Amino acid sequence: MKVFRSILVIAASVSALAPAQPRPPAQPRPTAQQQSFLQKLSAAAIERTHHQVRYDPGYQAIAYPGGDVPAEAGVCTDEVIRAYRALGIDLQKEVHEDMAANFSAYPSKTIWRLEHPDSNIDHHRVPNLMVFFHRKGEVLPITNRAAEYHPGDLMTWNLGHGLTHIGMVVDQRAVLTGRPMIVHNIGEGPKMEDVLFDWKITGHYRYFGPEKPGEAAQPGRRTP
C-alpha cells in the first residue's frame, strides 16, 4: 500500500480531467485487419509484463521523435506508449503533432499552465491521451458489462482525489470473474490484473494508428 499511496502523490496526472465527452454512438465491428492489429497490440501489452519497471513520474528531456525515458523507468502511460511502439506507432510524435496544430483542444494550459506543447512530457499525461484518442481514435461506450471490453481497448479511470490512470484490455480473462484482464502500471511496474471495474471508468477507446496519405477515415474515427 505504501507504493500505491505514493502514486496518489506523484502520479503523472493531476486533479483536472479531460473535458467530459458525449456518449458515443454504437461502433461497427472491427474489420479483420483491425482485429489482427488489436490482437498484436494486446500481445505487445502482455509482453510488457515481463519487464522490471520502477514507477518514476519525474520530468526528463528525451529525444524526438522516438524518444523514451530509460527502459527501467516509467508510469502508466509508458505501458501504452511502449506497446504501440512495438507495432511501429510513435505516440510521442502523433500526440505532439496534433497538440502543435490544435493546442487549445488539449488541457495543458488549463491543468499545467503551459503555453505550448512539450514533446518531452505531453504524451505521458493521461488527460492529453484522453483528448488525443477522442480526436484520432474510436470512442466506445462505457458500461458495466465486461463483454463490451475487448483486447486492444484503451481504458482510463479516475482513481479518486482527481487522479487519472490508463491501461489496456488484453486477451486473457480472470479465472474467478471471467472479466478481461488489464495490463497497467499503478506503481509496481507493468502487471496484468483483474481491475477493469476497480475504479470509475472515464474513457474507453480504440486507436489504430495514424491515417496514411490517401487512406479513407476508419469507421468510428473522430476527426478534428
Question: Region 82-99: what's the mean pLDDT?
Answer: 98
Domain 34-206 listed as CATH 3.90.1720.10? yes
pTM equals: 0.85
Check whether 24 has a pLDDT greater than 60.
Answer: no
Q: SS3 letters for the chain?
A: CHHHHHHHHHCCCCCCCCCCCCCCCCCCCCCHHHHHHHHHHHHHHHHHCCCCCEECCCCCCCCCCCCCCCCCEECHHHHHHHHHHHCCCCHHHHHHHHHHHCHHHCCHHHHHCCCCCCCCCHHHCHHHHHHHHHHHCEECCCCCCHHHCCCCCEEEEEEECCEEEEEEEEEEECCCCCCEEEEECCCCCCEEECCCCCCEEEEEEECCCCCCCCCCCCCCECCC
Domain boundaries, the chain: 34-206
More confident residue, 26 or 104: 104
Tell me the average pLDDT across 131-150: 97
Question: What is the arithmetic mean of pLDDT over 152-175?
Answer: 97
Better pLDDT: 73 or 27: 73
203-220: per-residue pLDDT in tens?
Answer: 999 999 998 765 544 444
pLDDT (tens digit per residue) in 194-204? 999 999 999 99
